[in-house]
C-alpha cells in the first residue's frame, strides 16, 4: 500500500471516530433500582381496663394505683401521700420552737379529682403509662394569720425615743428597733415544707428589724421657771439659755404648748390688760419690749422673745412671757420652726 493510500485510510478512521462520539455521549443513565415497600404489622389495640378498675401503668404523683378500684386508690393515696403531709411542722422563731398544723393553714389535696383522672385513662382518655398530678394547696390567708398569731407573742415592738425633764435635767430614752417575722419569706418556706412533706428538723423563720416611728430626738423646748432656764433639745444635743419669767402677779403658765408663729423685728402691740392701759404700739427698733425676735406660743399672749432689759434675766420680771438676751433670742430663732413642742414646768 502506497503512502497516499495509507493517508486515506487514516483519515477515514478519524472521521468514523468523530461520528461515533455523539452517540456515546447521548446514551441515557442506567435506572436506579427501587426497593419494594416492606410489609408493616398493624398495632394490636390495647385492651380496655376491666370494669371498675384503673388501667395498668397509671400512677398519681409517682404512686402506682394501676389495677385498683377507686376506693382502693383513694386509701392508698391518702396513706402514702396525704397522711405524711398532715403531720405537724416544727418551725423556730427567735429561738422558740413552734408547731404548725397543716390543717390549721388549710392544707388540702384533691384526691378524688386525681382518681377520676386516673380512672379515665384507657376509657375517655388515651391508654398507656401515665402519671396523674395530685393537686395540693395551702390557704395563704390562713397561713398568714397563723404565722402572725404564732410568732406575735415573740416579736419585739419598736420603742420610740422619749424625752423627759425633771430635777433640772433632760433625760433621753433612746429608741429601739423592733423584731418581727419576715412574713412573705416565712410564708413561702412554710408552704413549701407543708406541700413537700419535709419534716426533717425545725424550719427557721427569718426575722426583720422594725424601725421605730420616732427613732431620733425631735426638736423641742423645755422651760424651767424655777431655775430660769430654757433648754432646746435636738438630736445633736442640748442647748441651755438663761431666761426671765413672769412676775408673781403675772405668772408664766405651765403645761404643754407649741410654737405657733415667729416674727423678725416685731412690733409690740399692748395686750388687753390693765397693766398695758394707755400704752401704744412700739415699732421695731431700740427699746422695743420684744427685742428683735418673737416666738409666739399656743397659750394666748405668751411668747419667747428678746428683751432690751438684760438685767431682768434670771428673775421674775415679765408679764407672763419668757425673756431672753437679744443675742440668745436670735440664736434660738434660727434653730427652731413653727410647730415644735414647748413644755413649761
pLDDT digits (tens, 9 = 90+) for 250-274: 999 999 999 999 999 999 887 777 7
The answer to whether 295 and 264 are in contact (CB under 8 A) is no
Predicted pLDDT of residue 4: 45
Q: Where are the domains of the chain?
A: 58-152, 162-210, 220-270+279-344
Give me the catalytic one of 100, 111, 221, 321: 321
Predicted pLDDT of residue 14: 35
Question: Which phi and psi (to 5°) does residue 214 adopt?
Answer: -125, 85
Closest CA to 63 of 49, 80, 82: 80
What is the biggest distance separating any 2 CA atoms in the chain, rounded to whole angstroms?
173
Predicted pLDDT of residue 46: 59
The answer to whether 127 and 46 are in contact (CB under 8 A) is yes
Residue 160: which pLDDT band, with cuts at 50, 70 and 90?
A: very high
Give yes or no for residue 5 having a pLDDT over 80: no
Predicted pLDDT of residue 29: 52
| Cβ partners under 8 Å of residue 229, min gap 6 | 168, 223, 240, 241, 242, 243
| Cβ partners under 8 Å of residue 254, min gap 6 | 225, 344, 345
Average pLDDT of the segment spanning 106-132: 95
The answer to whether 68 and 180 are in contact (CB under 8 A) is no
Starting at the edge strand that comes first in sequence, how are the strands of the sheet with 130-132 ordered?
A: 63-64, 58-60, 130-132
Give yes or no for residue 243 having a pLDDT over 70: yes
Average pLDDT of the segment spanning 6-26: 39
The pTM assigned to this predicted structure is 0.65
Predicted pLDDT of residue 30: 60
In the annotation, is 305 catalytic?
yes
| Arch. (CATH architecture) of 220-270+279-344 | Beta Barrel (2.40)
Cα(first)–Cα(last) distance of the chain, in Å?
159
DSSP reduced 3-state for 38: coil
Q: Mind listing the pLDDT tens digit for each residue in 206-220?
A: 999 999 999 999 999
Give yes or no for residue 40 having a pLDDT over 80: no
Predicted pLDDT of residue 26: 46
Closest CA to 77 of 98, 61, 54: 61
Average pLDDT of the segment spanning 35-47: 51
Burial class (CB within 10 angstroms; exposed 0-12, middle 13-18, buried 19+) of 306 = buried
In residues, how long is the chain?
345
Q: What is the average pLDDT value for the chain, to the nearest integer?
A: 88
Average pLDDT of the segment spanning 276-300: 88
| Cβ partners under 8 Å of residue 327, min gap 6 | none
Residue 203: which pLDDT band, with cuts at 50, 70 and 90?
A: very high
Predicted pLDDT of residue 270: 78
- Choose the weakest-confidence range: 119-128, 193-202, 278-287, 333-342: 278-287
Q: Which three cell numbers stand for residue 10?
A: 487514516
Residue 8: which pLDDT band, with cuts at 50, 70 and 90?
A: very low
Give yes or no for residue 15 having a pLDDT over 70: no
Predicted pLDDT of residue 13: 35
Give me the catalytic one of 130, 293, 305, 323: 305
Q: Mind listing the pLDDT tens digit for each residue in 134-146?
A: 999 999 999 999 9
Predicted pLDDT of residue 25: 40
Give yes or no for residue 103 having a pLDDT over 50: yes
In the annotation, is 319 catalytic?
no
Give yes or no for residue 10 having a pLDDT over 70: no
Amino acid at each position: 500500500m502506497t503512502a497516499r493510500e495509507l493517508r486515506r485510510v487514516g483519515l477515514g478512521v478519524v472521521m468514523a471516530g468523530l461520528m461515533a462520539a455523539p452517540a456515546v455521549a447521548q446514551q441515557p443513565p442506567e435506572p436506579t433500582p427501587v426497593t419494594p415497600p416492606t410489609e408493616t404489622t398493624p398495632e394490636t389495640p390495647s385492651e380496655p381496663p376491666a370494669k371498675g378498675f384503673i388501667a395498668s401503668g397509671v400512677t398519681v404523683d409517682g404512686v402506682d394505683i394501676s389495677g385498683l378500684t377507686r376506693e382502693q386508690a383513694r386509701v392508698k393515696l391518702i396513706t402514702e401521700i396525704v397522711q405524711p403531709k398532715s403531720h405537724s411542722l416544727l418551725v423556730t422563731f427567735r429561738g422558740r420552737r413552734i408547731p404548725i398544723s397543716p390543717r390549721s393553714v388549710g392544707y388540702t389535696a384533691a384526691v378524688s379529682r386525681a382518681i377520676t383522672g386516673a380512672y379515665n385513662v384507657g376509657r375517655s382518655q388515651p391508654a398507656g403509662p401515665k402519671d396523674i398530678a395530685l393537686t395540693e394547696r395551702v390557704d395563704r390567708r390562713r397561713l398568714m394569720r397563723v404565722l402572725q398569731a404564732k410568732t406575735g407573742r415573740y416579736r419585739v415592738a419598736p420603742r420610740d425615743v422619749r424625752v423627759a425633764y425633771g430635777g433640772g435635767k433632760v433625760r433621753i430614752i433612746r429608741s429601739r428597733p423592733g423584731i418581727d417575722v419576715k412574713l412573705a419569706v416565712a410564708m413561702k418556706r412554710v408552704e413549701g415544707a407543708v406541700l413537700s412533706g419535709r419534716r426533717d428538723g425545725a424550719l427557721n423563720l427569718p426575722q426583720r428589724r422594725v424601725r421605730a416611728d420616732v427613732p431620733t430626738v425631735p426638736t423641742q423646748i423645755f422651760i424651767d421657771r424655777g431655775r430660769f432656764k430654757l433648754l432646746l433639745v435636738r438630736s445633736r444635743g442640748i442647748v441651755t439659755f438663761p431666761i426671765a419669767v413672769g412676775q408673781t402677779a403675772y405668772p408664766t403658765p405651765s403645761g404643754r404648748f407649741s410654737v405657733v408663729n415667729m416674727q423678725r423685728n416685731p412690733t409690740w402691740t399692748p395686750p388687753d390688760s390693765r397693766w398695758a392701759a394707755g400704752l401704744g404700739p412700739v415699732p421695731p427698733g431700740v427699746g422695743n419690749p420684744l427685742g428683735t425676735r418673737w416666738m409666739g406660743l399656743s397659750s394666748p399672749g405668751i411668747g419667747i422673745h428678746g428683751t432690751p432689759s438684760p438685767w431682768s434675766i434670771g428673775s421674775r420680771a415679765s408679764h407672763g412671757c419668757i425673756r431672753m438676751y437679744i443675742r440668745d433670742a436670735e440664736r434660738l430663732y434660727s434653730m427652731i420652726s413653727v410647730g415644735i413642742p414647748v413644755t413649761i414646768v
